Structure 1
Amino acid sequence: MAETPDLQVYDLGHLGLVAGILDRIGLVSLVDRRVGPRPGEKVSTGVALKAAVLNALGFLSSPLYLFGHFWEGKPTEWLLGKGITPDLLNDDRMGRMLDSLYAVGVTELFLEVAKEAHRAFAFPVRALHVDTTSFHVHGRYEGTGEEEAIRLVRGYSRDHRPDLRQWVMGLVCADTGGIP
């Protein structure tokens, strides 16, 4: 009787395609060059951002403390890199990633990523399409005395939760191919 190979099957959905696009853009290395390494980190800021982008395309309504659950049953090493496991993608790591991105300037970093995307995928751009969405957040957010990077305020809630603070995320896409 022939020996059956040990196979593992994963449902990637769109994640493999998006991970490949982020790799072609060079997102991880670009972010890691700008932010620099942190002593003892197992997941770089660039890898954490890549994980956040992939997560944002399918697990939107979950709180940050459930971030690692999104990755259970997914081939994290294949999508994010050798040695990356779901337990390393926790809310603490994601919070440090957000802090690091803020420290280097998110607007400037976004522009660098957009330039690299245009270099990697040379496509004509005649017009840009913009869309926004809002997310509600739970918890208590007190000012630190410094200028706030993100203002969490009450306002119109698409989730019908006017009692919760929220933030808005925008996406800009090119008219040719819908490339962000």
Structure 2
Amino acid sequence: MDRKVLDVDLDGVCADYTRAMADWLIRQGRLPAGRYPVPTTYEMTEADGWPFPDAADWLAAHTAAETDRLYARMPVIQGAPEALRELDRAGVDIRIVTHRLFVPGHHRLVVADTAQWLDDHDIPYRSLCFTGLKDSMHADLHLDDAPDIIMALRAAGEPTCVFDQPYNHDAPGLRIRRWDKEGVETLLRLLGV
């Protein structure tokens, strides 16, 4: 059987990076308890309510959070595991494609925590790829939330669906709003399954 390949991003699509980072900042005393800023731009340094005056401060906080097992503890985006299992049963090869290896010296921890998180949430996948060059990977369909990645994939002629987030409302084209029956049906339709 010829299975279709769906490239799926993790952070902002399956894993709630925003919530995980806010939880970590609350534990560090950098955000008040219960305060969860809603990013209106992809870069947290630009979004209202985040305690990062610049990109260097965000990177320092992210690096510390990574060391504190950020990727192993992230909340799952509601419905993602169930939807991905349904797609797998329908004959879709799920390839996880994430750009998490950007902090030197943390690669082993990040890869292990990512694999642990996927196993803990029973998310099926055939391949696990760590790359920032997602537009160099061919797939029948890509699902991502990052506006710059979406634009790069489309510029490369790769079929791309947007996973809806407050910071990507300006990204044109097809999107799914959540991991529900309608979202799964949309992805299956786009894949021709």
Range into which the TM-score falls when normalised by the shorter chain: 0.3 to 0.5
* TM-score for the superposition, normalised by structure 1: 0.33
Larger CA Rg, structure 1 vs 2: 1
* TM-score for the superposition, normalised by structure 2: 0.31
Q: Which has the higher contact order (CA 8 A, sep 6+)?
A: 2
